Amino acid sequence: MTARRRPSLLTALSVLLLAVPVTVAVAGPLFAPAIATPDGAPYVLGDGHPLGTDGMGRDVLALLLRGGPSALGVACCAVALAYVAGGTLGLAAAVTRHRWVDELLLRPVEVVLPVPSLLVISVVGLVRHGSAVAIALAVAAIGVPAVARLVRAAALDAASGPVVEAMRLQGESWPRIVFGYVGRAVLPVAAADAGTRVGTAVFTVAAANFLGLGLEPTSPDWGVTIAGSREALLVQPWAVCAPAAMLVMFTVGLNLLSDSLIKRRGYGSTRSAPARKPAAVVRAGRETEAVR
C-alpha cells in the first residue's frame, strides 16, 4: 500500500512546487500594477514594502511578480527549440541506413559541444545585448548537439528493429515511421532528460543575467534581481532569496514531476504492459501466416 501512495505523493509535491513559480510568472504581471508601491530608499525592509526594496529602491514584490516571464519563458522556449532541432536530427540519424548520412547530420552540430555555454552567451550578448530572443536562441544552439546525440542513442534499437522494417515493406511514410513509431519509443528518455535540461537552461539564463551578459541591469528578471542585490544579502535577504526560491522551486518541481510521470506510466518497469504493435506489423504477420 505504501508503494502505491509514493507516486501520488511525489506528484502532489512536484505540482505544488511548480505551481508557485509558474503562477507567479503567468499571473504576476497582471497583478503587479495593482500592488505596486512608490519607490523608496535602497534596501529597506517594511515601510509599505512586504518584501522590502532593492538597491534602486524598487519594491521587491513587484519585481518578483514581473520577472517570471523572462526568467522561465526564455529557458523553456530555448529547450523547446533545442528538442525540435536536435530531436529531428537525432531521429533522422537513427533511422537512416547510410552511415555517411548519419555523419553528415551529427558531426557539424557537434562542433558546439566543447564550447562553454557562457562563452556563446557572452558573444551573443555583445552583439545583441538585452535581447531575450537572442539569449533563447543561444541557449537552444548550445543544447542541440546533446539532444541530437541523446535522441539518436535512444532511438537506435527501435529504428533497427523488425517493426520499422515491416513498416517500410508496407509502404508507410517516412514521417509516420520516424515520428509515429520511433519518436514514441524515445519519449520516456526525452521526458526524463527534458526535466533536467529545462532546469539547466533556467540556471544558464539566470547565470548569464547574473554576470551581466543577458538582459539589462534594470530588468525585473529574477536572475538580474539576484545579481543586483547580492552584495546586500545580509542587509536585505528577501531581494535575493525570494527570486532564488522561485528558480529553485521551478527546477526541483519540474524534475520531480518528470520522474513521477515516468513511474506512473510504468516505463522501465518489468510489469509494464507491452507496447501496441503498429498496423503494419499486424498486417505483415497475417500475410506471413497466410503464406504458411
Average pLDDT, the chain: 79
What pLDDT is stored for residue 7 in this prediction? Answer: 52
Q: Is the pLDDT of residue 199 over 90?
A: no
Tell me phi and psi for residue 265, to 5 degrees. -75, -15
The three three-digit cell numbers of residue 219, written as one number: 530588468
Query: What share of the chain in percent tops pLDDT 70?
Result: 86
Is the pLDDT at 37 greater than 80? The verdict is: no
pLDDT of 3 strictly over 50: no
* 98 vs 80: which has the higher pLDDT: 80
**What's residue 25's pLDDT?**
92
Reply yes or no on whether the pLDDT at 242 is more than 70. yes
Name residue 89's amino acid.
Answer: L
* pLDDT exceeds 70 at position 238: yes
Q: Supply the pLDDT for residue 245.
A: 92
DSSP string, the chain: -HHHHHHHHHHHHHHHHHHHHHHHHHHHHHHHHHH-----STT--BTTBTT-B-TTS-BHHHHHHHSHHHHHHHHHHHHHHHHHHHHHHHHHHHH-S-HHHHHHHHTTGGGGTTS-HHHHHHHHHHHSTT-HHHHHHHHHHHHHHHHHHHHHHHHHHHHTSHHHHHHHHTT--HHIIIIIIIHHHHHHHHHHHHHHHHHHHHHHHHHHHHTTSSS-TT---HHHHHHHHGGGTTT-THHHHHHHHHHHHHHHHHHHHHHHHHHHHTTT-TTSPPPPPPHHHHHHHHHHHHH-
- pLDDT digit string, tens, across residues 121-176: 778 877 777 678 888 888 898 889 989 888 888 888 887 878 877 877 887 777 78
Band of residue 249 on the pLDDT scale cut at 50, 70, 90? very high
- At residue 266, the pLDDT reads 56
219 within 8 A of 67, measured Cβ to Cβ: yes
Q: How large is the average pLDDT for residues 13-26?
A: 91
Residues 6+ apart with CB under 8 A from 11: 257, 260, 261, 264
Question: Residue 264 has what pLDDT?
Answer: 65
Instruction: Write down the pLDDT at residue 85.
Output: 92
Q: What is the mean pLDDT of residues 76-102?
A: 86
For residue 201, is pLDDT > 70?
A: yes
> pLDDT tens digit string along 58-78?
888 989 999 888 888 888 999
